[in-house]
C-alpha cells in the first residue's frame, strides 16, 4: 500500500506527471481490452477487409480522442485560443506546445493498440486472407473452381470450423504466412515509434531549447493561473454565500423579535473576515462584470513595483529620509512575440 501511495502522490505532484499517469493507465487498459475482445472474423469476401481494418484502426482513433478528453489542458487550450486579445497577447508558440504535448500523450494508447494488434496477427489474417498467393503456397490448378469460388474459399481461412478448401491451400500455411507478415509490420511499427520518440527527445533541445523552455514555462503559468483563479472564485463564492446566509438569519431574527418572540442573539463568528474576502464585490452584477473582464481583457504579464513619491512628497528639505535599504523587488515581464 505504501508503494501505491507513493506512486499516487507522484502522479498528483504536477499536471504533467498526472497526465503521464493517465496515459500509462490508458495504455495498460488498451492491452487488456484487446485481450478481452472476442475477435470473430465474418469470413465473407466483401466483409473481411472492412472488419479487420476496422478493428485495427477504429479503436486507436477512439483511444486518441479519449486521451484528449481526459486531458485537463484541452479546455484550457481552447479557452486560450478563442479568448479575445484584450490586454494580453496570445503566443502561438505556447499554444502549439500545449497541443503537441497533449497529442503526444494521447498517441500512447493508440500506438500500444496498433502494436499489440499487429503482433497478434488476427486482424491482418482476417483482412487479407483473400490475397494469399495460391500459386506459391497452394494448388492453383484445382479444377472446377471459378475465381469467385476461390475468393469465397479463401475468405473462410480464419474460420477453421467452416473452411473446406484444404485441396486448394492448407489453412495452417495461409495463417502462418499472414501472421508472419503481420508480426513483421508490428515490429517495424514499434521500431518506428521508438525511433521517432528518441529523435524528438534528443534532437529538440539541440535546435530550439530556449524557445522550448519559454513555451513550457508559459504553458505551466497558464495552468497555474487558471487554478488560482478558480480557487479565488471559489473562496469569494464561499464568503459571499456566508455573508448572505448570515444576513438572512439576522433579518429573520429581527422579524421574530418584532413579533415579540424573545430569542437569544449572538454575534456571528468571523463575519468581518468573510466580508473582507469579498474585496468590495458584493452584488451579482459586479461579480459577473469582473468575470467578463477577466475573460475579455486579462491583465498584461508585466509586474511593476509601486511608484515612490517624488518632488514634494518627501517630508523635510526635499531629501528622502534615510532608512535601511529594503530588499529589491524583481520585475517579471513577458511580451508576446
DSSP notation for 87-115: TS---HHHHHHHHHHHHHHHTHHHHHHHH
| Grid cell 505551466 in the structure block, residue | 220
Q: Which residues contact 65 (CB under 8 A, 6 or more apart)?
A: 106
Task: Check: pTM over 0.85? Answer yes or no.
Answer: no
* Banded pLDDT at 16 (limits 50, 70, 90): low
Predicted local distance difference test score (pLDDT) of residue 28 = 83
* Banded pLDDT at 119 (limits 50, 70, 90): very high
Average pLDDT in the 4-27 region? 63
- Judged against a pLDDT cut of 70, whether residue 13 lies above it is answered with no
The residue that leads in pLDDT, 186 or 322, is: 186
Dist CA 120 CA 186 (whole Å): 9
Average pLDDT in the 90-106 region? 87
Average pLDDT in the 96-106 region? 87
Predicted local distance difference test score (pLDDT) of residue 305 = 65
* Banded pLDDT at 134 (limits 50, 70, 90): confident
Dist CA 174 CA 159 (whole Å): 12
DSSP, residue by residue, 157-220: TT-TTT---TTT--HHHHHHHHHHHHHHHHHHHHHHHHHHHHHHHHHHHHHHHHHHHHHHHHHH
Work out the mean pLDDT of the chain and round it to a whole number. Answer: 79
**Is there a contact between 301 and 332 (Cβ–Cβ < 8 Å)?**
yes
* Banded pLDDT at 33 (limits 50, 70, 90): confident
* Banded pLDDT at 331 (limits 50, 70, 90): very low
Average pLDDT in the 48-74 region? 89
Q: Which residues contact 42 (CB under 8 A, 6 or more apart)?
A: 48, 51
Question: pLDDT of 202-224, one tens digit each?
Answer: 877 777 778 888 888 888 888 88
* Banded pLDDT at 228 (limits 50, 70, 90): very high
Question: pLDDT of 265-317, one tens digit each?
Answer: 555 556 566 667 777 788 888 899 988 888 888 888 887 765 555 544 444 44
Amino acid at each position: 500500500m505504501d508503494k501505491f501511495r507513493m506512486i499516487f502522490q507522484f502522479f498528483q505532484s504536477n499536471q504533467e506527471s498526472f497526465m503521464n499517469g493517465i496515459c500509462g493507465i490508458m495504455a495498460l487498459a488498451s492491452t487488456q481490452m484487446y485481450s478481452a475482445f472476442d475477435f470473430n472474423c465474418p469470413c465473407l469476401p466483401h466483409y473481411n477487409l472492412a472488419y479487420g481494418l476496422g478493428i485495427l484502426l477504429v479503436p486507436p482513433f477512439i483511444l486518441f480522442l479519449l486521451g484528449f478528453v481526459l486531458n485537463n489542458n484541452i479546455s484550457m487550450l481552447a479557452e486560450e485560443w478563442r479568448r479575445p486579445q484584450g490586454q494580453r497577447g496570445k503566443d502561438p508558440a505556447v499554444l502549439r506546445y500545449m497541443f503537441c504535448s497533449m497529442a503526444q500523450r494521447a498517441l500512447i494508447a493508440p500506438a500500444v493498440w496498433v502494436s499489440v494488434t499487429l503482433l497478434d496477427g488476427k486482424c491482418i489474417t482476417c483482412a487479407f486472407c483473400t490475397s494469399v498467393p495460391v500459386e506459391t503456397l497452394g494448388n492453383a490448378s484445382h479444377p472446377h473452381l471459378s475465381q469467385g469460388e476461390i475468393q469465397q474459399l479463401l475468405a473462410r481461412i480464419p474460420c477453421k470450423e467452416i473452411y473446406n478448401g484444404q485441396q486448394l491451400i492448407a489453412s495452417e500455411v495461409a495463417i502462418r504466412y499472414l501472421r508472419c507478415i503481420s508480426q513483421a509490420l508490428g515490429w517495424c511499427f514499434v521500431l518506428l515509434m521508438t525511433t521517432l520518440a528518441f529523435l524528438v527527445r534528443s534532437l529538440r533541445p539541440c535546435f530550439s531549447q530556449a524557445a522550448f523552455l519559454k513555451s513550457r514555462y508559459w504553458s505551466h503559468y497558464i495552468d497555474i493561473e487558471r487554478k488560482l483563479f478558480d480557487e479565488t472564485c471559489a473562496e469569494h463564492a464561499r464568503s459571499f454565500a456566508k455573508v448572505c446566509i448570515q444576513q438572512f438569519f439576522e433579518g429573520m431574527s429581527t422579524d421574530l423579535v418584532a413579533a415579540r418572540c424573545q430569542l437569544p442573539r449572538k454575534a456571528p463568528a468571523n463575519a468581518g473576515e468573510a466580508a473582507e474576502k469579498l474585496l468590495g464585490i458584493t452584488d451579482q452584477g459586479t461579480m459577473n462584470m469582473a468575470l467578463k473582464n477577466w475573460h475579455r481583457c486579462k491583465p498584461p504579464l508585466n509586474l511593476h513595483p509601486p511608484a515612490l513619491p517624488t518632488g514634494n512628497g518627501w517630508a523635510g528639505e526635499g531629501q528622502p529620509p534615510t532608512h535601511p535599504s529594503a530588499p529589491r523587488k524583481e520585475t517579471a515581464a513577458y511580451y508576446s512575440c
